[in-house]
Structure 1
């Protein structure tokens, strides 16, 4: 006990940083060391320093709040980190938004004994005991904010700045190092700092809490500001809704005039070509950049403003399905969190979270990781009435980073951002990326062939390609057709088409495809619901905008 008298607040912070940042993460450091494929020793060492520095910075920041509040906040940090470490160490659980959302929204009485039992309780008490004793028994001073304590305050500020730099700077340097390796090996990895933050405690569960708070705030804002079709219209589900799966794949920078299934000279869609249950429609995007298109793709007519910024006015079609009783999950190789929140998904994972999973450690960003997430999602929801949204990296520049070497069919390629590439090299790489998209979509369909399922695919916008240049985002009123001409496809399983109503609706899609009838992003809202079999007696679906509407 006497030794505790010699513990200053900064020393307490250092001890807690060592305990939380290093000791609790020790098995994770060892596991990641064995999983890393490049610079494992250097990366692990840097991540140990960053983990310690992050907790030190956090505890020093909390110490400015005063003795009592400091102890309360850091006690929560300790308990949260110990709880997270139990599942990370013994169950290999990746802590992120989904886990945090499940914990925060599930009644504790419903949690299974396998998840929270005596072992967990014993771990929580024993592993939390030492840091909590140090925290509450050490005679800490009040916050040193008074001007007479200016020297102490400056010292503390100096240590905080140093801790912040020790966390940020090594990760920044490793991120730069990873970028250089990416260029050398023609690959693209997820953000180094983002993956590290999603791998270790407490950054993983703190970021998950932050994302949950943002999501809750965003949804609360939407409920007050955005028109909600589900609250104003009646939607009648199809008879087979209870075992129905709806999957939407959001493409990136894909042009239909560069896809074999649309008549392109190169056969870069060999799998799509032979799919009998596929309708490849002549799509046109509502805008020319990802963020703007995501605003106008999935809402009703007029649900996004015509202004350049495309301000949202209404909730999207995914929120409607959610309010019709669908469970929903979203997995993304991009980071449009604002959009994912508006889908009201039960769970979503961004690329950094996905890439920090054990099976993806050390691997480049690859859309095939989304197929694995889809498979797991379907396994978690074997009964159906489930929605999955996959946001791909698709054909985003640099195109050669979007596909493995096995798909480098068209040569020569544009291999680097700094290379002086001809138009043909750019096109070759772009066409190879679409060849890989064909493979990814085929794997998506394979997960659903034996289920009652319908899959939609639509690219967010197209791409202008010329010598050493790639463009999209041109104002839509003057954008070239290459930036607006996109693939929109609908695929259905045999089980889905066994229902006469679905078969008749899908025949309408096939007719649109055969006649090369133009279809538009702006009609996705009505068509997703209509093609899935929903009806609305009071105008919730505009049948004139429903591609699957069967005229009586």
Structure 2
């Protein structure tokens, strides 16, 4: 009996401990991988049963090999406890929302503030993390590990375990290499779903680039920026007032003005707004899209580190003496407004606009008259909405704007029906439309003092359960159009159109073009419409220029 107790309670060998961890990660933590594979296999005409059976064995062998590299005295328990808890969170997001933890997603997570992060908390997510991560982590903490009495025996056992893992991988590859290669090549996103390899790699890369790489020297661009003589003269008589609205998580497909079957834009429908029908975002997460749309870079060559260390659209405009103000209601400007005046809505307050952690976007219009008056000359105010940020869509609109019912009044949207999720999301679009209409109404009231205009564009779209995918942030090459197509809407007062020589009818026609517009156009379009000239400006990327020269030419002919 004493011998049995000694066998059972004398401590678990490191090799056994590592193998059981690998088995747990293979069978339980990597549920998102199996969910993805089921979707892939359902689309294939035939799948070899032997190939399917070897997949868990392949994962087990690979993870056992990798975990063995970190299974050492003193570091094993703390390392795997932390890894297990983090992996359970990743598993929850991957399984329930289809989230992939690539470099961009890690950046988005780290730059998320506490208020935004809390919107992802729910009883379901807490229970998932508790059962999959915390409780197993406590078991690891309590588990006795057999002390190492003979280092040679310990190293030998580790090497044998790793060698067996390599042999298993080799045997599987020898028989089913073509199957693995075919599935992997045709579904390359799968590697981004595997836990914990992808999120660890992405995190290490982010930390290295952010904290252990020599910062790029700050680069000023557009040093020659200046407003046209006509714009400067106008600033003394009737200045230009541009409101740029940066939306959050609004997808183009759910806008009535873009052909959606629901009346989600009732407030702006009668305001003669122009809605561009086909606009592509620079990224699928705020941490990429917002800096990208304000940078003089296109999606193909965008680098966040470079964008953070050089002037952007707002800096160049400010250099040209276009007064700038940024008002923030989405938890952060992603370093875009670092050099201009910025006002952040206090989301900790509790009143009719805020609940202590988040505020409705109408809060951005508070003190707007003073904000406008405090600027000088031609001026631009950028409003950063919280818009349609999920998963707590229901917190983005007040009860009197909850038109589409039943909605989903909870954070764990995977436990709502798709009808409820879409209803909640459409309510956010409708409320954003209301906020924009109120902004335009304010601009109309100021028409005697200013030449007014408003441009609204969202940072990225959103998945609402299509193909089992929710939220956003999927790597761009794999992302559905629901995450990459965004609304772009423009309103201009008659005096603005006249002052800027813009043919509004021409612009409406231009808005119907497909495959033409993207976030790449914003930098140049805003410089152009505000009459700021600089060597950084490219007229071919200015969506307004195509309807200004034509109008000016026609006016000249008419006057002659």
Q: TM-score band (shorter)?
A: 0.5 to 0.7
Deviations 1:74-104 (A, max 9, x none): xxxxxxxxxxxxxxxxxxxxxxxxxxxxxxx
2:182 corresponding residue in structure 1:
none
The count of corresponding residues between Structure 1 and Structure 2 is 332
Check if 1:414 corresponds to 2:408. Answer: yes
1:519 corresponding residue in structure 2:
517
SS of the residue corresponding to residue 272 of structure 1 reads: coil
1:488 corresponding residue in structure 2:
488
1:387 corresponding residue in structure 2:
380
Check if 1:295 corresponds to 2:287. Answer: no
2:150 corresponding residue in structure 1:
none
Task: Kindly report which structure 2 residues correspond to 1:327-342, keeping only aligned pairs within 5 A, or say none.
Answer: 327-342=323-338
2:398 corresponding residue in structure 1:
404
Cα distance between partner residues in 1 of 2:394 and 2:353: 19
Match of 1:261 among 244, 250, 257: 257
Check if 1:452 corresponds to 2:447. Answer: no
Q: CA RMSD in A?
A: 3.4
Task: Kindly report which structure 2 residues correspond to 1:464-479, keeping only aligned pairs within 5 A, or say none.
Answer: 464-466=463-465, 470-479=470-479
Residues 1:444 and 1:532: Cα distance change in structure 2 (over 3 Å): same
> Bigger CA drift: 363-372 or 396-405?
363-372
Query: Bigger radius of gyration, 1 or 2?
Result: 2
Cα distance between partner residues in 2 of 1:329 and 1:304: 29
2:179 corresponding residue in structure 1:
none
Cα distance between partner residues in 2 of 1:362 and 1:424: 26
2:366 corresponding residue in structure 1:
372
Cα distance between partner residues in 2 of 1:480 and 1:528: 28
Superposed displacement of residue 548, structure 1: 1.1
SS of the residue corresponding to residue 425 of structure 1 reads: helix
Question: Would the aligned equivalents of 1:236 and 1:535 in 2 still touch at CA under 8 Å?
Answer: yes
* Moved beyond 6 Å, runs of 4+: none
Superposed displacement of residue 469, structure 1: 5.8
Cα distance between partner residues in 2 of 1:508 and 1:530: 16
> Bigger CA drift: 518-527 or 413-422?
413-422
Cα distance between partner residues in 2 of 1:301 and 1:387: 21
SS of the residue corresponding to residue 229 of structure 1 reads: coil
Deviations 1:517-547 (A, max 9, x none): 63110111100111223344xx331011011
Cα distance between partner residues in 1 of 2:299 and 2:462: 25
Where structure 2 has 5 or more consecutive residues not aligned to the other structure, the ranges are: 1-113, 124-214, 551-560
SS of the residue corresponding to residue 230 of structure 1 reads: coil
TM-score (norm 2): 0.53
Superposed displacement of residue 510, structure 1: 1.7
1:423 corresponding residue in structure 2:
418
Superposed displacement of residue 349, structure 1: 2.1
Cα distance between partner residues in 2 of 1:358 and 1:421: 28
2:221 corresponding residue in structure 1:
229
2:20 corresponding residue in structure 1:
none
Superposed displacement of residue 317, structure 1: 0.8
SS of the residue corresponding to residue 452 of structure 2 reads: strand
Superposed displacement of residue 228, structure 1: 2.6
TM-score (norm 1): 0.54
Residues 1:493 and 1:183: Cα distance change in structure 2 (over 3 Å): farther
Deviations 1:94-147 (A, max 9, x none): xxxxxxxxxxxxxxxxxxxxxxxxxxxxxxxxxxxxxxxxxxxxxxxxxxxxxx
Task: Kindly report which structure 2 residues correspond to 1:319-330, keeping only aligned pairs within 5 A, or say none.
Answer: 319-330=315-326
Question: Would the aligned equivalents of 1:291 and 1:336 in 2 still touch at CA under 8 Å?
Answer: no
Deviations 1:328-366 (A, max 9, x none): 221111222542443x22x312233x6549986767511
Cα distance between partner residues in 2 of 1:250 and 1:287: 14
2:241 corresponding residue in structure 1:
245
SS of the residue corresponding to residue 276 of structure 1 reads: coil
Cα distance between partner residues in 2 of 1:513 and 1:443: 23
